[in-house]
């Protein structure tokens, strides 16, 4: 229950049952060659009840993978009740309809269905897989979870205890603390700045009515995106979608979330923790997903810090041995977009590492990148893309991610050509947009030496 920013990295859910080996075997058989996967036909269908979905038929094995998302994740948590979305993700397979938690999970076990729920900042996610022969019974269980969750007291308190234990562990994890505190600093006063998983105080206050109210506001047809891959045709899928989602309200009731750019009164915040090395999160505003420069920024990120051959990896790790790893990424949220990175090193060397990172940002503005760097980045990004489509489940993940990002089905075919169209001038322009005259917001957790808060 901890997915935060990347729908295509959806949590696996729960495997159960004596038929586990059969389902695992079927999953292995869904592995596709990259060429075959990228040649898939995406059908845009609408069920008799008006539920829209993307479908890729894959009839070679008897398994169906379904992924779905409702717009409205932890950013919809009420103030003071942070963690509701995350709590709900843990409750939906804990009893539904006439079945308590034990009975519900025994039914799942009997048919070896796979189901999981997760929450991000902007969306609430679900995953579902079943053997074709068990489809109707599995669909019935998923429909109960979506439409008639029980929220029994025993289950609520058991999941609450698990969540509180997770929060306690997270408070001892410097990487988690640095990331959470970066969001709190960069988005102060905004829903993105609140703790996505909640706090011990807020989770302790969440009750059945809070879970039911969140579900009622967010689980609606106009909030829904669905992707399906597997052994099913469009007509059969239409009926299946209506069974699962047809009883939901037509429109959701989301609280408006304003557009925002990350900003902070202080550019550096240090949080002391008694650990042998310091962990830093650094970041700047980035362009939104629909911006004409986004793809060039995506390529630039790979050159700067997006892989083992990046400039930051070479400067911070390979040449100076300051850190085992350093990385960056662009995260296009629905209401903001950020360029963020991480580095961890000895307490006495974190300052030097951060200075090297800042200097690389400045250098790419003044010098740009080389033709070789650009060619290598394009080659890696286009060549590795097919690996995301090696199984039916991963294809469903990618389809859902594409839908959630507001992209059309043609994106999967045009994506590599858009990357190849990026020029040196594009990268130079984007480098200036990202880095020129800007200082990153930084949070450091540990006992760093030679750093002063503020600035």
Kindly report, residue by residue over 266-324, the tens digit of the pLDDT: 899 999 999 989 999 999 999 999 999 999 999 999 999 998 889 999 999 888 888 88
Mean pLDDT over 80-89 rounds to 98
CA–CA dist 285, 337 (Å, integer): 6
What is the pLDDT at residue 8? Answer: 33
What is the pLDDT at residue 395? Answer: 96
Does 7 have pLDDT greater than 90?
no
Does 438 have pLDDT greater than 80?
yes
CA–CA dist 115, 92 (Å, integer): 10
Residue 264's pLDDT band (cuts 50, 70, 90): confident
Q: Which domains does the chain have, with CATH numbers?
A: 7-245 (3.30.830.10), 268-446 (3.30.830.10)
- Which two tokens mark 257? 């979330």
Per the model's pLDDT, the better-predicted residue between 20 and 314 turns out to be 314
What is the pLDDT at residue 14? Answer: 36
Question: Over the stretch 127-146, which tens digit does the pLDDT of each residue have?
Answer: 999 999 999 999 999 999 99
Contact 130, 237 (CB under 8 A): no
Does 33 have pLDDT greater than 80?
no
In 10 A of CB 320, how many CB atoms?
A: 14
**If we measure between CA atoms, which residue out of 47, 18, 45 comes closest to residue 107?**
18
∠127-327-290 over CA atoms, to 5°? 60
Does 332 have pLDDT greater than 70?
yes
**If we measure between CA atoms, which residue out of 200, 387, 131, 427 comes closest to residue 302?**
427
Does 9 have pLDDT greater than 70?
no
Mean pLDDT over 4-25 rounds to 37
Torsion sign across C-alpha atoms 316, 318, 323, 328: positive
CA end-to-end span of the chain: 36
**If we measure between CA atoms, which residue out of 306, 322, 394 comes closest to residue 34?**
394
Contact 142, 99 (CB under 8 A): no
Question: Over the stretch 192-212, which tens digit does the pLDDT of each residue have?
Answer: 999 999 999 999 999 999 999
Q: What is the largest CA-CA distance in the chain?
A: 66
Question: Over the stretch 156-194, which tens digit does the pLDDT of each residue have?
Answer: 999 999 999 999 999 999 999 999 999 999 999 999 999
CA 202 vs. chain centroid, Å, equals: 23
CA–CA dist 237, 240 (Å, integer): 5
CA–CA dist 172, 251 (Å, integer): 41
Q: Which residues contact 23 (CB under 8 A, 6 or more apart)?
A: 15, 17, 63, 112, 114, 129, 131
- Computed over every residue of the chain, the mean pLDDT equals 91
Question: Over the stretch 56-76, which tens digit does the pLDDT of each residue have?
Answer: 999 999 999 999 999 999 999
Q: Which helix (H) or strand (E) holds 405?
A: none
Mean pLDDT over 94-109 rounds to 97
Does 22 have pLDDT greater than 70?
no
């Amino acid at each position: 229950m901890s997915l935060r920013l990347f729908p295509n990295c959806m949590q696996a859910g729960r495997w159960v049952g004596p038929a586990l080996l059969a389902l695992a075997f079927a999953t292995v058989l869904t592995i596709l060659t990259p060429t075959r996967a990228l040649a898939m036909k995406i059908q845009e269908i609408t069920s008799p009840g008006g539920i829209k979905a993307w479908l890729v038929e894959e009839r070679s094995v008897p398994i169906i993978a379904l992924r779905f998302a409702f717009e409205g994740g932890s950013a919809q948590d009420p103030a003071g009740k942070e963690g509701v979305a995350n709590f709900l993700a843990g409750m939906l397979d804990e009893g539904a309809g006439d079945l308590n938690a034990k009975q519900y999970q025994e039914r799942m076990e009997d048919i070896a269905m796979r189901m999981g729920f997760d929450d991000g900042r902007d969306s609430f996610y679900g995953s579902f897989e079943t053997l074709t022969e068990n489809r109707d019974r599995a669909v019935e269980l998923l429909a109960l979870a979506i439409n008639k969750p029980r929220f029994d007291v025993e289950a609520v308190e058991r999941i609450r205890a698990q969540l509180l234990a997770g929060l306690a562990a997270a408070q001892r994890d410097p990487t988690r603390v640095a990331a959470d505190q970066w969001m709190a600093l960069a988005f102060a006063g905004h829903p993105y700045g609140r703790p996505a998983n909640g706090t011990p105080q807020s989770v302790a206050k969440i009750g059945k009515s809070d879970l039911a109210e969140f579900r009622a506001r967010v689980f609606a047809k106009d909030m829904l995106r669905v992707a399906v891959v597997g052994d099913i045709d469009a007509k059969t899928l239409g009926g299946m979608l209506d069974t699962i989602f047809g009883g939901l309200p037509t429109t959701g009731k989301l609280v408006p979330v304003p557009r925002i750019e990350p900003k902070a009164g202080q550019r550096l915040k240090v949080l002391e923790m008694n650990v042998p090395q310091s962990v830093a999160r650094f970041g700047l505003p980035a362009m939104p997903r629909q911006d004409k420069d986004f793809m060039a920024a995506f390529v630039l990120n790979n050159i700067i810090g997006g892989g083992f051959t990046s400039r930051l990896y070479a400067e911070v790790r390979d040449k100076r041995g300051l850190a085992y790893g350093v990385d960056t990424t662009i995260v296009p949220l629905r209401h903001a977009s950020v360029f963020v990175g991480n580095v961890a090193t000895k307490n006495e060397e974190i300052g030097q590492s951060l200075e090297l990172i800042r200097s690389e940002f400045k250098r790419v503005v003044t010098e740009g990148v080389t033709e070789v760097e650009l060619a290598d980045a394009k080659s890696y990004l286009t060549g590795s893309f097919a690996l995301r489509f090696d199984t039916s489940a991963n294809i469903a993940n990618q389809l859902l991610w594409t839908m959630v990002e507001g992209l059309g089905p043609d994106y999967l075919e045009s994506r590599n050509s858009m990357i190849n169209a990026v020029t040196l001038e594009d990268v130079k322009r984007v480098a200036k947009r990202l880095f020129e005259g800007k200082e990153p917001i930084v949070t450091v957790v540990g006992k760093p030496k030679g750093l002063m808060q503020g600035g």
